[in-house]
Chains A and B, each alone.
Chain A
Amino acid sequence: MDCPDEPGNDDCGWYCATSRALLPMTEPILTLTGISKSFPGVRALHNVSLELFPGQVTALIGENGAGKSTLVKTLTGIYQPDEGEIRVNGQVVSLPTAISATASGITAIYQETVLFDELSVAENIYLGHAPRNRFGMIDWKTMRTEAQKTLDAMAAGIDAGIPLKELGIAKKHLVAVARALSVDAQVVIMDEPTAALSQKEIEELYVLVELLKEDGKAILFISHKFDEIYRICDRFTVFRDGEMVGKGFIKETPENEIVKLMVGRSVDHIFPARAATIGETVLEVKGLSHPTEFEDISFEVRKGEILGFYGLVGAGRSEVMQAVFGMTQIASGTMVLDGKTIAPKSAADAVEAGIVYVPEERGKQGVITGEPIFKNVSLPSIDKTSARGFIRMAEEFALARTYTERLDLRASSLSQNVSTLSGGNQQKVVIAKWLATLPKVIILDEPTKGIDIGSKAAVHEFMGELVSQGLSVIMVSSELPEILGMSDRVVVMREGHIIETLENKNLQPETLVRLAAGIAKEKAA
């Protein structure tokens, strides 16, 4: 064990000694003791304990693979623990199914909401516990009015009658919260709820969390973002490698202490310093327009430069990048790469020209789940490792090994299925795949979204390495520290237009937020 001190006191991490006077002494609603869960070859959770208190938000912190998701699945009845007990209000409960978890008052809101697009908002809220009339049929009228009441109480501004698919992801989260309220849950688990939200939507979510707190719910909040943990959480619990390594009160614990607990070592939060030698223009995009998504997009990226694209979710940044990558067809506009006009009609065309794209949706667009690492890496450059179209395994493995090792990929072998890798390592596979094609321009769309701090730093460091080797990088990101820490210049987009392109010198985060949100110099009303 590498607990910093007092190895004997393993029941409760080393922050327990600090005062508890800040919060009222209450009995926990949910208590987990000695929970263990193993999968073939993996010990996901080992002797884990957790307490959740009414009216308080507890942050669950840990790198990817620390066991957070397994814990959530144990609490929502999807996995059965091998050992340990779960108590709700002092009563031992078993949660063999998702329904039994709901009945015990535990509900979860996920990063990507697990709701039903084709059903109405009201149906989504009351799915599984719809009000019945005296014939035992669903009482549609009550359901609709009750759902609307809940939504109005949250000031959500959503009509309960419309189909869910008409809502954006932020509003869908609100529906998920409404669902949590309607089942009268005592414990609400929020698994990276802000990962897909814009800054404004995140603020709205914070208000809701406050609402749930006032209601006396116990909230388990899983997040990679420290600013929000410090903003809304009361307590924290840190997991590492399936074990609980520390817990305490957020207000009394500095950020770097928590980071130290997470990674078992101290990590500088500082972005790599780069001595960038920026050369001539590599890619010039002029007047790119799409019928609905974006209009008159012009920018250039130079050799050895990281060009940041900042904006709110839905500003059209990904759409522009997918057009440059040939996946979206444009109505007008031109692209010049190394002095040659290109008009990619498919990703294959773009890759041939030397433009590659690391998509935001890693699981759907990035990796081919179900195939091993080496096949994922070699797919775009298979023509290079083969002889006249015939596969040569040795060359293919060598190519995969070269690029995955450059990225410090953590896996058991090159034949390991990519679906069994953590998010950060999957991202490394996607980047390795593109580096093997020897591109000129690499577009990274939210490259560190939902990946742990360790991998995040690795990706940032690697981006610095790429530009120092003369590549051009375009980075789409919604995280301000990342934009400010990595970019040479920043393009700000709003509602499908480029608002401004700024040199990253003494650039203030507030400036970017204002531009992206369309707020004038004076404060928004």
Chain B
Amino acid sequence: MTDTTTTGRQLPDRLDNPVKSAVLSWESLLVLVALAIFIANSFASPYFLNEWSLSDMTFNFTEKALIALAMALVIITGEIDLSVASIIALASTMMGLALQAGADTPMLVAVGVGVGILCGAFNGFLITGLKLPSIVVTIGTMSLFRGIAYIVLGDQSFKGYPVDFSWFGQGYVFWVISFELVLFLVCALIFYVVLHHTNFGRRVFAIGNNATAARFSGVRVDRIKFVLFCLTGLMSGIAAVLLTARLGSTRPSIAQGFELEAVTMVVLGGVSILGGSGTIIGVVLAALIMGLVTFGLGLLNVPGIVMSIFIGSLLIVVIALPILFRMWRQRKA
């Protein structure tokens, strides 16, 4: 035996060059796409290359992207949460009720975030406690949570949020950098560290790759999934505070369709819809791309319905691309 797999030698940590694999990654493709859209936008509209335009652009994605961060972790474990937009509706409605009861700004924030966590915990209990499939549970709570908002509000709306409350959705930390953008970047950093540099993140990936083997390896699978659904609830609650503060009102139809955009960001970011792989950097880049695209189309006066056609097509293309790529490689092999 003269091959390389003889015994008694030290196994190297890795063989492939980490720099090379970083250059050839999905994330570097996303960077190129983002740059291309940025350049296309600046040629398409004279109003685009302006610090305030670019600042406005970030509002197109920050709230959804906050949810997408937590959604990424949920999808990596092989689950999904489709109720996030409805959690926003319910949290916002409860904030409206709190406002009518005379709550001040800290109280409003606490209600929004608290309702979000409770909704997430409810999802998590049904999924891990009663062992129901997450796609069914969250389709159910999607109708349930928004249904409650419709019962409370009917065709009415809550208005008259305090001025200092509106800062969460409309305020700037300095110059053109909004509070929403700063909050998103801070959260992205936290999620990046948690997913890629902690034991918790390592277990999330293990569950997504093989939940049974993870359980047999001593990973508390249900506990981690429960925490993750609470986390999407929390992020939805935060998004509810931001969105309500930005709009200055609550209608039961608030944040309609956010769940699809959040899922699109996650999948576009390179997270496998089957679970087990993905990065936070990819999700952040995908959020930026979605923001650039929708804002660019908005500057060109493209109607909203066309935008949703575009986003739907994007989702399909992004899911199909890696599969087509694999088929092409197999044919070559």
Contact = CB atoms under 8 A, between A and B. Distances in A.
Contact of A369 (B10, B200, B210): B210
A35 interface: no
Contact of B276 (A40, A264, A370, A397): A370
A135 interface: no
Contact of A380 (B13, B210, B217, B277): B217
A379 B217 contact: yes
Contacts of B5: 410-412
A409 B203 CA distance: 24
A410 B11 CA distance: 9
Contacts of A374: 13
Given A40-B333, A368-B210, A405 B11 contact: yes
A453 B31 CA distance: 50
A347 B4 contact: no
A77 interface: no
B76 to A, nearest CB: 12
Interface in A396-416: 397, 401, 404-405, 408-416
Contact of A357 (B4, B200, B216): B216
Interface residues of B, number: 36
B198 A370 contact: no
A74 to B, nearest CB: 15
Best-surrounded residue of A39, A350, A368, A391 (most CB of chain B within 10 A): A368
B131 interface: no
Nearest to A349: B218
Interface in A324-371: 327, 346-348, 350-352, 357, 359, 364-371
Interface string B1-38: 10011011011111110000000000000000000000
Q: Which of A40, A346, A370, A391 has the most CB of B within 10 A?
A: A370
- Bin the interface of chain A by size: 35 or more
Contacts of A389: 198-200
Contact of A370 (B11, B199, B209): B209
B60 to A, nearest CB: 34
A375 B277 CA distance: 14
B159 interface: no
A397 B197 contact: no
B199 A415 contact: no
A397 B14 CA distance: 10
Nearest to A397: B13
Given A370-B276, A401-B10, A364 B212 contact: yes
Nearest to A351: B218
A417 to B, nearest CB: 10
A348 B7 contact: no
B197 A390 contact: yes
Contacts of A351: 218
A405 B10 contact: yes
A473 to B, nearest CB: 18
Interface string B122-142: 000000000000000000000
Given A375-B202, A391-B197, A348 B219 contact: yes
A347 B333 CA distance: 41
Q: Which of B11, B215, B217, B276 has the most CB of A within 10 A?
A: B217
B206 interface: yes
Nearest to B211: A368
B214 interface: yes
A38 B210 CA distance: 29
A421 B155 CA distance: 61
B206 A412 contact: no
A367 B213 contact: yes
Contacts of B201: 391
A369 B15 CA distance: 19
A173 interface: no
Contact of B11 (A352, A365, A382, A414): A414
Nearest to A378: B202
A386 interface: yes
Nearest to B222: A346
B10 A379 contact: no
A164 B247 CA distance: 58
Contact of A382 (B202, B220, B277): B202
Contacts of B8: 408
B168 interface: no
B61 interface: no
B205 interface: yes
B199 A380 contact: no
Contacts of A416: 15
A457 to B, nearest CB: 13
Given A412-B5, A413-B13, A364 B199 contact: no
Contacts of A433: 217
Contacts of A379: 202-203, 206, 214, 217-219
A413 B15 contact: yes
A386 to B, nearest CB: 5
B13 A348 contact: no
Contacts of A500: none
A383 interface: yes
B190 to A, nearest CB: 13
A382 B202 CA distance: 9
B222 to A, nearest CB: 9
B6 to A, nearest CB: 8
B198 A390 contact: yes
B206 A375 contact: yes
Given A347-B218, A365-B213, A390-B197, 12 more contacts: A346-B220, A347-B216, A348-B218, A359-B216, A368-B206, A379-B202, A379-B203, A380-B219, A386-B198, A389-B200, A390-B199, A391-B197
30 contacts: A346-B215, A346-B218, A346-B220, A364-B212, A365-B213, A368-B214, A369-B210, A369-B213, A370-B209, A370-B276, A374-B13, A375-B202, A375-B206, A379-B218, A379-B219, A380-B218, A382-B199, A382-B203, A383-B199, A389-B199, A390-B193, A390-B197, A401-B10, A405-B10, A405-B11, A412-B11, A412-B12, A412-B15, A415-B16, A433-B217
Interface of A: 39-40, 264, 327, 346-348, 350-352, 357, 359, 364-371, 374-375, 378-380, 382-383, 386, 389-391, 397, 401, 404-405, 408-416, 433, 437
3 residue pairs, one from A and one from B, having the closest CB atoms = A415-B14, A351-B218, A370-B209
